[in-house]
DNA sequence: CTTGGCACTCGGGCTACCCGAGTGCCAGGG
DNA sequence: CCCTGGCACTCGGGTAGCCCGAGTGCCAAG
């Protein structure tokens, strides 16, 4: 129902519109791309494409612009992810390799992504539920107060203060720490719930109340509330991409952790790059925005998601290339440490 | 040289302009405020104020708007910090009290401040150099790799991976940990440089190389690089305040940690609220912005700075009130933990 | 020093207008 | 059956002209 030429026309419209930000007409189309037909022919094709909902004209006497559906077809069938040159890859690699810290890796990643795509970059911290425990530390604060510090094998450190019901001494802390480390070391956080359940049997009855308090805090902090932070960068790029709807809405949405989580979370597939266009991401206020996202981390050990947010009028091939490349290297860097 | 009425006129101009965002003329002035003189009189006063550089007229036939100098005088002499009602204070208190975490306290603080002032809020993490060491933890990772975790009495946790020159066993780690904790516990981070200098004498000569590596990393991480993170919130408020210069510049400036640090850092006084107006903060791109900032933490133990950034056309009394109140309660919350 | 009067300025909003890009349609030709 | 050139039509956006009203500065009188 759409022959090759019509698809070529759609592709051309998307490409031109993305680069010029102006509705594209039949004449300009035959000139810029070497379609060996007359403008009138193109017009007929465009009429069909419009009828099918792939393009619209904003005003009666203007060129056409792609609809969400048009972009969708473009992304699915008409374009290929733009691979990065080896020089670019090397630049990415060295930029990320300079990081000395988990925080720093994430910071650099978000900056890099924002710079490469000239869009807003969104990076989720490595997820707790996917990582394993490396060490648990208990630090006495004041009377009846402990600081629980949990170190994961992705280098992430989680902390939480806990009030324990009875006072403790150094020995009991030592013991509790030893038990915890023996049981938890190397275990995935997702497994911990079941492990903790039978832990109390291992400690001195006198210590049970305190132990229970610590256990429940660990559970609560790390399993129930898998706080997965998201950081955002490159917000200034939004000013260039004049959003049809208010820029305010977009900025607001980007400040809501929950919204961002959902945006990235909807990326089902871990390894491939997902694109959600316009209304496809059912976040109010991002109706005219697209999200290009993917997971990072090795295939057997997915860590989290990252991506970019921009106007639907976005250079998808490049954005997808950048997201894929950055995800790859960030995953690699994190795997090493 | 400026009599009372002229000052009153300036005050009225600032207040009206802030609330209406329109140049204010002589007639409107006598109507809205009950100055018992005629518009002509006001005009004469305004001519003087303009001559002295406190106000300007954007167009020949328009009302006047304050200059930076005008705002400065207003802030210094013509306004008082707007105190918060007890109800408002209670709301702040309960909102902040819900936090369970240092990260969470900072997050809530920045949100609260942004909401109260309808401006962009900027909050600096409690400074390391001001806080004391509570605990040092060494965690073996793989061969010749240690994770150094440092816990401060503000509840902050700093982490860093260190490669040590020779391999180690559990005992040597234990010993090193014990030595470190014995020496560092309760000491201010600023003192540590001198302490570490004479530490090597305390450890077994065989362990010196590893110990030295750990020491130097602690030094480097915590003293030299007192990484003081700044977080920003409420960026969407920028869209409401139409900046005369590009909004892009402002957004860009707000993404630069360094710039933010400088902005807050220039707040010399720890306890009082500092206001920097327009070109006074010598950050390019924030020429039309003002910063209202103060320190938080108790007087004897300053932690860091916080504040808001907005257009020079800002409700200073309210902003100052909010900044002061939030700083107070945030400091209080952090002092408790 | 204040006040009312008065002439002057000029930005912003309104209308009218035209131009040109772009379309849809149609009839003719390969 | 599809492509093509021609042609009439539409309409957004830019330009020019216009007026209005808010606001000013100045001046002379109280």
In this structure, are strands A274-277 and A289-298 parallel, antiparallel, or unpaired?
A: antiparallel
Dihedral sign, Cα of residue A127, residue A132, residue A134, residue A138:
positive
> CA–C1' distance B23–D16 (Å)?
28
Residue closest to A264 by CA, chosen among A234, A321, A302: A302
Tokens of B181: 């904790």
> Which is more confidently placed, B213 or B309?
B309
- How far A317 CA lies from chain B's nearest CA (Å)? 26
Tens digit of each residue's pLDDT (9 = 90 or more) over A116-145: 999 999 999 887 666 777 788 887 777 778
Highest mean pLDDT among B251-255, B271-275, B319-323: B319-323
Structure tokens at B133: 């060491």
CA-wise closest residue to A236 among A325, A103, A115: A115
pLDDT of residue A227: 59
CB B207 within 8 A of CB B170: no
CA distances from A257 to A27, A70, A214, B147, B225 (A): 46, 30, 28, 29, 29
Best of A135, A150, A256 to mutate (most B CBs within 10 Å, chain B): A135
Give the mean pLDDT of chain B.
Answer: 85
A293-297, B26-30, B121-125, B194-198: segment of lowest average pLDDT: B194-198
Contacts of A254 in chain B (CB under 8 A): 235
- pLDDT per residue rounded down to tens, chain A (337 residues): 788 999 999 999 999 999 999 999 999 899 889 888 999 999 999 999 999 999 999 988 889 999 999 999 999 999 999 999 999 999 999 999 888 778 889 999 999 999 999 999 999 988 766 677 778 888 777 777 888 888 877 777 777 878 888 887 878 888 888 888 887 777 776 677 677 666 666 777 777 777 777 877 777 766 555 557 899 999 999 988 767 567 888 999 999 888 898 888 776 667 789 999 999 988 888 888 999 999 998 777 777 899 999 999 999 999 999 999 999 999 988 877 6
Distance from CA of B251 to the nearest CA of A (A): 5
**Which of A204-213, A259-268, B36-45, B120-129 has the weakest average pLDDT?**
A204-213
Instruction: Report the percent of chain B where pLDDT is more than 70.
Output: 91
Contact present, B309 and B290 (Cβ < 8 Å): yes
B217 contacts chain A (CB < 8 A):
no
Determine contact: A234 vs chain B, CB below 8 A: yes
CA-derived radius of gyration, chain A:
26
pLDDT, residue B114, reads 97
User: Given a cut of 60, is residue B226 above it in pLDDT?
Assistant: no
Q: What is the mean pLDDT of residues B323-333?
A: 92
Is the confidence at residue B12, as pLDDT, over 80? yes
Q: How far is A247 from chain B (nearest CA, A)?
A: 7
B108-125: average pLDDT: 95
Q: Is A276 helix (H, G, I), strand (E, B) or coil?
A: strand
Phi, psi of B236 (to 5 degrees): -65, -20
Tens digit of each residue's pLDDT (9 = 90 or more) over B230-256: 999 999 998 887 675 678 889 999 998
CA of B277 to C1' of C6 (A): 40
> How far is the C-alpha of B16 from the C-alpha of B13, rounded, in Å?
5
Q: Hey, is the C-beta of A159 within 8 angstroms of any chain B C-beta?
A: yes
Q: Are A29 and A12 in contact (CB under 8 A)?
A: yes
Evaluate the CA torsion angle B321, B323, B324, B330 in order and state its sign. positive
- Give the separation between CA A294 and CA A119, rounded to whole angstroms: 15
* Closest Cα in chain A, distance from residue B303 (Å): 19
- Contact check, Cβ <8 Å, B233/A255: yes
Closest nucleotide to A61, Cα to C1': C22
The listed range with the strongest mean pLDDT (B156-170, B184-198, B280-294) is: B280-294
- Chain B neighbors of A241, CB-CB under 8 A: none
Short-list A83, A72, A122, CA closest to A276: A72
Confidence of residue B223 (pLDDT cuts 50, 70, 90): low
Paired tokens of A214: 């610590």
Nearest CA in chain A to B154: A141
What digits encode the pLDDT tens for the residues A156-207? 777 787 888 888 787 888 888 888 888 777 777 667 767 766 666 677 777 7
Task: Determine, for residues B239 and A233 on separate chains, whether the beta-carbon distance falls below 8 Å.
Answer: no
In sequence order, which residues have a C-beta less than 8 Å from that of residue B249 and are 6 or more positions away? Answer: B284, B285, B286
Residues of B within 8 A of A236 (CB-CB) are 248, 251-252, 255
DSSP string, A35-59: --S-HHHHHHHHHHHHHTTSEE-SS
Contact A134 B141 (CB under 8 A): yes
Q: Which residues of B touch A232 (CB under 8 A)?
A: none
What is the structure's pLDDT at A209? 77
Considering only CA atoms, which of A228, A217, A230 is closest in space to residue A136?
A217
């Amino acid at each position: 129902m759409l022959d090759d030429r019509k698809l070529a026309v759609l592709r051309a419209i998307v490409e031109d519109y993305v680069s010029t930000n102006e509705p594209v007409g039949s004449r300009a189309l035959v000139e810029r791309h070497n379609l060996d037909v007359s403008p009138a022919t193109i017009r007929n094709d465009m009429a069909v494409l419009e009828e099918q909902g792939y393009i619209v004209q904003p005003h009666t006497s203007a060129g056409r612009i792609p609809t969400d559906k048009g972009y969708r077809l473009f992304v699915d069938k008409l374009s290929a992810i733009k691979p990065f040159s080896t020089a670019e890859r090397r630049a990415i690699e060295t930029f990320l390799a300079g990081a000395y810290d988990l925080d720093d890796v994430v910071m650099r990643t978000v900056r890099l992504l924002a710079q490469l795509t000239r869009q807003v970059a969104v990076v989720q911290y490595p997820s707790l539920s996917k990582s394993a425990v490396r060490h648990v530390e208990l630090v006495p604060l004041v009377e009846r107060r402990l600081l629980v510090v949990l170190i994961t094998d992705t280098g992430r450190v989680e902390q939480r203060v806990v009030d324990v019901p009875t006072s403790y001494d150094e020995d009991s802390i030592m013991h509790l720490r030893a038990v915890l480390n023996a049981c938890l070391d190397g275990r995935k956080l997702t497994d911990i719930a079941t492990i903790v359940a039978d832990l109390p049997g291992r400690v001195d009855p006198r210590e049970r109340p305190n132990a229970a308090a610590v256990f429940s805090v660990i559970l609560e902090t790390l399993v129930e509330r898998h706080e997965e932070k998201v950081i955002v960068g490159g917000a200034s790029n939004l000013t260039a991409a004049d959003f049809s709807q208010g820029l305010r809405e977009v900025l607001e949405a980007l400040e809501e952790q929950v919204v961002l989580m959902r945006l990235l979370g909807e990326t089902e597939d871990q390894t491939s790059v997902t694109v959600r266009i316009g209304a496809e991401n059912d976040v109010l206020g991002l109706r005219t925005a697209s999200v290009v996202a993917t997971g990072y981390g090795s295939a057997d050990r997915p860590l989290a998601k990252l991506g970019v947010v921009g106007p639907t009028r976005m250079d998808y091939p490049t954005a997808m290339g950048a997201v894929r490349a950055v995800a790859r290297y960030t995953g690699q860097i994190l795997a090493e440490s």
